[in-house]
Structures are given as C-alpha cells and as structure tokens.
Structure 1
Amino acid sequence: MKKVIFIIVSLLIVGLLAWTLYYVYQKSQEKAISFETEEPYYTDIIQKTVATGSVVPRREIDIKPVVSGIIDQLLVEPGMQVKEGDVLARIKVIPDMVSLNNAENRVDRAKIARDNAIVDFTRNQTLFDQGVISKADFQPFQLAKKNAETELEGAEDNLRIIREGASKKNSATANTLVRSTITGMVLAVPIEIGNSVIEVNNFNEGTTIATIADMSDLIFEGKVDESEVGKIKEGMDLILTIGAIENLDFNAVLEYISPKGIEENGAIQFEIKAAVNAKSDQFIRAGYSANANVVLARRDSVLAINEGLVQYENETDTYVDVKTGEQTYDRRKVELGLSDGIKVQVLSGVGAGDAIKVWNQPITEE
C-alpha cells in the first residue's frame, strides 16, 4: 500500500514539474507583433476656417403705408412674385372729424360763392349781349365765375382726400394704394384685412404691410472669430453648407469683412458677407442657417497621407516608417506640404503604393 502511494505521489510531482517547465517555456516565447499600414493616396486638400451664419437676400424691403387707416383689400400672400409698382393692398382711410368738418364747411362756402358768381355772370351777360356794358366791364364777372368754380372743385377734392385718401384727378395713384417698390418675392405679410395701420412719419416707423426681397441675389452673413479674421480677405472663395439642404454645397465669394468686432460670449466676433452663387434648379429660402468654409489654401489631386502617420523629431524633421519586409520597417524622411488637420500633402519621401506603418496601433498575433 505504501508503495502504491509513493508511486502516485511521484507521478504527481513529475507531472507538476513538467507542467511548470512547459509554462515557463511558453512565457519565454515572444508573441509576434505586427502593425497596420496605410498607403498614400491622391486627393484634394483644402485648408479652411469655418464661419457660422445664415443666407439672406441682399435686398429685403419692408413696405409701409403713407396714410393711416384700415386694410380694406389685401392682394398678395407670402411666396408670390411681384413687380415694382404692383398694388399690394388698399387702405380705407378713417378721417379726422375736425379736418372732415372743416373740409365740408369749405365745400359749402365754395358752393355759395359759386352760385353767387353764376348769378352775377348771368345778369351781366344779358347786359353785355344787349350792348349795355362793354367787354372790359363784363370780363371781371367771367373771371369771378371761373375762380368760384375752381375753388369749389378744389374744396371737393380736399374733402375727397380726407374721406377716401385720393383726389378725383389722381385716383390711380392714390395714397390708399400700397405699391411694391421693388421686383421680387413676398416673404411675409404680417397684417390681415381689417387691421389698423399707421403711416410712416417723423415719430413712427409705420406698420409693415409686406416684406419683399429679390431672391435671385442672396448673400451669406456670418461671423468669424478674431483669431481667424487675420487669415481671410475680400475675394476669397467660400464653400457654403446649408443644414436644411443635405448633400449639396454652394460656392460664394467673400465681399465684406467688418472693420470692427463685436463681443459675444467673451469672444470678439467680426461680421462677414459673401455673395452666394445659387444654382438655378435649387431654391434657397431666406433665413436658412449655414456654415461657410473659408478656403485659405487649396491643392487639387495631390499625393497625401493621413496626418496621424507622420512622426516628428526635433520639431522640424518629419518622417514615416515604410514597410520593407515581414515586420521590418524603414524610417524615411518626408517633405510635407499643405495640411487640413486630417490629411497632409506629401512633396517627397514616399510614393503611391508604399505601405506606411500606423505606428501607434500594434496588432499582437496569437
């Protein structure tokens, strides 16, 4: 029995020793390590800065009345195209009672004066026809009759203007007819029939009847941070990305940079404006929010690599590791050009087809 126990213990000790030796051997073997690689490729590199803003019409006009009253007719609605001079609305004038009373009294006095002038004219015309009085004596009565008729006509026109806002002679160009001052699209009509409106005067800007804009001439209005404004200048190209229009970019040309900055949220912002080259088959609505990529520099169809593949030495030398064999890499100095922060142009050092090590992404092979 003791012999059997001895044999079993001996076998256990030998097995444990063998497993220990195997474990130590496995731990001593280094696992193969390889790296991912990427190849240079041809692409366009655009160095840009981003400005946020919106797309608005260059000319946007608020149409306001020149007389106060109540909207009697409204002839337009948002989205309609109008031409300069088209009637947008008609205003019913609410006359001032004092002015109306004075105008009515003036008409009454003018009628009395006219009737009296007609009586004198008729009496003296009979005498003139009979040869009792001369032509010179008759002419003052003719003149008095014409003056009285003219005064009555003027008093009646004045009363008509106070009541209706237009005279008999100029009814086609009455102040009660609100007309468009430009050709364009109606963007908004903030009033309705029956609303009271106030005329433009020295003390009030007046009620807006409609907002009209030329939608064929759009601009981008945005703001650029003070750290970027020194890099841009008038005439630079912009690439507009409109949030409401997916997968479509628009070109624009920078026209204006504000000479004065405005503080917003602790940072100084400078206003910029750019002319938008809208496509004929794409309608851009006024007020769309947009991001403008200001093109600082551009290289088209150049050899490039990802910025993360580049390693730096002494803050001036740049190099990459190019795969030359199985798990062997050759360090090569490269000359770089324009960078957009993600990819960088390669001027010399590597070519298309070279496998460049992604040095910070090792892959351990089991």
Structure 2
Amino acid sequence: MVKKLTATLLGLSALVLAGCGTDKPSGQMPPPPAVEIAQVSTEATTLWRSFTGRVVAPETVALRPRVSGYIDRVSFTEGALVERGDVLFTIDQRPYKARLRAAEADLQRVRSQVSFSEKQAKRAQQLLSSKAISREEYDRRLSARDVERAALGSAEAALENARLDLHYTEVKAPISGRVSRALVTRGNLANADSTLLTTLVSVDPMYVYFESDEQTFGASRTLLDADASPQVHIGLAGEKGYPHTGKLDFIDNRLNSHTGTIQFRAVLANPDGTFQPGQFARVEMPIEEMTQAVLIDSKAVLTDQDRRYVYVVNQDNITERRPVQVGPRQGSRTLIRSGLETGDKIVVNGLQKIFFPGMPVAPEMIAQKNPGSAAQAAGH
C-alpha cells in the first residue's frame, strides 16, 4: 500500500514539473522598443546668434560747478529722476550779487564819461572850424572819446560776466535723467571746474553695447546691410528668453586687433526704467537668412567626443547612426548643415532605448516642432 502511494506522488510531481517547464519557452526575443520619430524637412528661416552685452546710458554727465563758492542748498532727492533745467545745487550768491552791482555801477560811470567825451569831441569840431583850437587839441579830444568808447565795451563785458557768474551759482541739470547721490553737501566749498558734485545719467532710451567675432560679423554683413536698422532681441539676467526688442543703430568702423571682435550697439526704449546703466544683457542678433534650412529638435542630436550624430530609422525600422554637421541652436532646435536630407526619419524621443546601431525599433511618427525664430522659442 505504501509503495503504491509513493509511486502515485512521484508521478504527480513529474506532471507538475513538466507543466511548469512549458510556461517559459527558451530563446524568445523581446519586442522592439517604442520610439518617437520625426521626418526631416526644410524651411525658410532666419538664423540668430546670442551675445553678451552691457547696458550704457546714452548721456552721462559728471556735474561740476562753473564758479567757486560754498554750497548753500542741495535741491534734489538722491537717486530721483530730474528734468533738464532743474536746480540741483545752489552756491552762496551774495558775493556774486555784490559783484553784479559793482559792474552795473561801473558801467553807469563809463557811460557818463562816454557822453562827456562825445560832447567834447563835437565841440572841438566846431572850434577847429573857427580856428579857436589847434589841430593837436582837436586830435587829443577825439582820442579821449575813442578811449571812453572802448572802456564802455569793457564795462559791458564785465557786467555780462558778472551776470553769468551769478547765473552759474545755480547748478542745473543739463539733461533729463536719474541723479546720483550728492558728493558735496551744504556748507562745503566747491571749486570751479574741479569739484565733482554728483553724476547724472539719461534713462530713456538706453544703449546696449556688445561685440561679435570676426567670422560672425562677416556672415551677417549681407543681412545687416540690407536692413538699415535691424531688430535685435534683448534679455536681462533672471529673465526668460529675450522679452525686449531694440534696434541696431551702430556698428564700429574697425575690428579690435587685440580681441578680433567688432562692436555693435542697440538702442531700446526704457520708459519704465527696467534697464539700468552697467547691467549685463543677453542680445540675440540675426546673422543669416536661409531659404532651405534643416532644423531638428535639439534632443535628437547626440555627442560622441567631438562628433555629433543622430539615429535615422530606415524603411525596415532599423536604426542607423548618421554623423551630422551642426550649426547654431535656434531656440529648441538645432540647424543641421550637412548629414541629413529631406524625408529622413530621425529618432527624437526614446533614444535611451537604443543600445547600438542596427537595433530594430517600433517607431511612432510625431510632428516636427516649428517654434519659428529663436526669440519666439525662447519666450519672446
């Protein structure tokens, strides 16, 4: 009885083991990984290049007095906006008012002397006609008249200088803009043409200066020459993309022999005071117009040391490693100068699933992104 039971249990165990073995057949390959592909096409586009620049005020004034004296009043709020003609500093006017009164009195005296000498010269003419005076006396009176006339001109000039000196005791803003702090305060002596009182910078519009290398400048000359004031896109530190638009209004007349670069300048409106002199700025400038540009998603471009390549999927859904020559990035896309042709299908998403060239995949076609210009792709 025990022998029959043991034999039955062994038979059942064999059947169970045989059934388990049939669940996992050996040698079966896993299915090809799913990837997303896009078809290569050409389009007309403008190529943009990014540069680092600095914001500069078009007008900067180091304010110094034209006359010497003690500061009597500071009439502005430090760091505030001021208008052209606003009085910023007042120098003690009392000595200059006294000099003006003295000049006015001296002019009155000289005018009286001129009137007397004119009468003397006219009387001498009559006396000479009747031979009551000598010719020598007549010439002496005419000379005295001419001397007094010259003195009158000198007195009038002295009065004008006195008026100017009094006018210059009020130090006014020569431009509209933002004023710095007062470097000389009330009660301190300010010397003419030497003491720095404060600085003043214009705020609207602003300049952005940046430099381009010689190769980029050469490539962009045709495009820049065709447009008298091409637009550029500008962004500040902390800003996304290039949200501001300016116009290129100056290109230097020669390259810097030390750096091999040439200077550009863009002008942009600044009504809200967003830009401050001295800030760093990112500038994006158009450098080339292309009628048939190949632009692909930058995620599709891989790097092997210093070589760039993409994965192309053929008609049999087999991947092929294709070396490419890349150009500048345009937002989220990269320009391909050579290596791809219209109609090629490249892997955009799922590249991490491809372990070697020639690997089969299960492709799914997606539309090629077309964000337009680099500025638009960057959020402009």
The TM-score range, normalised by the shorter chain, is: 0.5 to 0.7
Matching residue of 1:305: 296
Distance 1:168 1:343 in 2: 68
Matching residue of 2:127: none
**Does the Cα contact within 8 Å between 2:310 and 2:347 map onto a contact in 1?**
no
Matching residue of 1:50: 50
Aligned counterparts, 1:1-366, within 5 A: 1-23=2-24, 25=25, 27-40=26-39, 47-77=47-77, 78-83=79-84, 86-92=86-92, 169-170=162-163, 173-181=166-174, 183-191=175-183, 193-194=185-186, 196=188, 198-200=190-192, 205-213=194-202, 215-216=204-205, 218-222=206-210, 228-232=213-217, 236=224, 238-243=232-237, 248-253=243-248, 255-256=251-252, 259-261=256-258, 272-276=263-267, 278-279=268-269, 283-287=273-277, 288-299=279-290, 304-307=295-298, 309=300, 321-322=312-313, 324=315, 328=317, 339-340=328-329, 342-344=333-335, 349-351=341-343, 356-358=346-348, 360-362=351-353
Q: Deviations over 1:82-116 (max 9, x none)?
A: 23x55332112799xxxxxxx9xxx9xxxxxx9xx
**Does the Cα contact within 8 Å between 1:239 and 1:250 map onto a contact in 2?**
yes
Give how far 1:291 is off: 0.9
Q: Judging changes above 3 Å, is the alpha-carbon distance between structure 1 residues 63 and 293 closer, same or farther for their aligned structure 2 residues? A: same
Count, aligned residues: 292
Q: Judging changes above 3 Å, is the alpha-carbon distance between structure 1 residues 187 and 271 closer, same or farther for their aligned structure 2 residues? A: farther
**Does the Cα contact within 8 Å between 1:63 and 1:209 map onto a contact in 2?**
yes
**Does the Cα contact within 8 Å between 1:49 and 1:296 map onto a contact in 2?**
yes
- TM-score, normalised relative to structure 1: 0.57
Q: Deviations over 1:207-243 (max 9, x none)?
A: 2334132623x2213456xxx4542269655432123
Q: Judging changes above 3 Å, is the alpha-carbon distance between structure 1 residues 175 and 328 closer, same or farther for their aligned structure 2 residues? A: closer
Give SS of 1:170's match.
helix
Pairwise CA RMSD:
5.3
Q: Judging changes above 3 Å, is the alpha-carbon distance between structure 1 residues 273 and 350 closer, same or farther for their aligned structure 2 residues? A: closer
Gaps of 5+ in 1: 96-102, 108-113, 115-134, 159-165, 262-267
Distance 1:175 1:281 in 2: 31
Distance 1:229 1:75 in 2: 49
Distance 1:21 1:195 in 2: 105
Give SS of 1:38's match.
strand
Matching residue of 2:374: none
Q: 4+ residue stretches of structure 1 with deviation over 6 A? A: 41-44, 330-337
Q: Judging changes above 3 Å, is the alpha-carbon distance between structure 1 residues 81 and 299 closer, same or farther for their aligned structure 2 residues? A: farther
Give how far 1:246 is off: 5.5
Matched letter for residue 296 of structure 2: I
**Does the Cα contact within 8 Å between 1:33 and 1:362 map onto a contact in 2?**
no
Distance 1:3 1:54 in 2: 98
Give SS of 2:5's match.
helix
* Bigger strand fraction: 1
Distance 1:20 1:298 in 2: 67
**Does the Cα contact within 8 Å between 1:240 and 1:252 map onto a contact in 2?**
no
Matched letter for residue 251 of structure 2: E
Matched letter for residue 4 of structure 2: K
Q: Judging changes above 3 Å, is the alpha-carbon distance between structure 1 residues 329 and 172 closer, same or farther for their aligned structure 2 residues? A: same
**Does the Cα contact within 8 Å between 1:67 and 1:199 map onto a contact in 2?**
yes
Distance 1:81 1:283 in 2: 13
Matched letter for residue 255 of structure 1: I
Distance 2:294 2:185 in 1: 65
Q: What's the % identity of the aligned pairs?
A: 13
**Does the Cα contact within 8 Å between 2:209 and 2:266 map onto a contact in 1?**
no
- TM-score, normalised relative to structure 2: 0.55
Q: Judging changes above 3 Å, is the alpha-carbon distance between structure 1 residues 195 and 246 closer, same or farther for their aligned structure 2 residues? A: farther
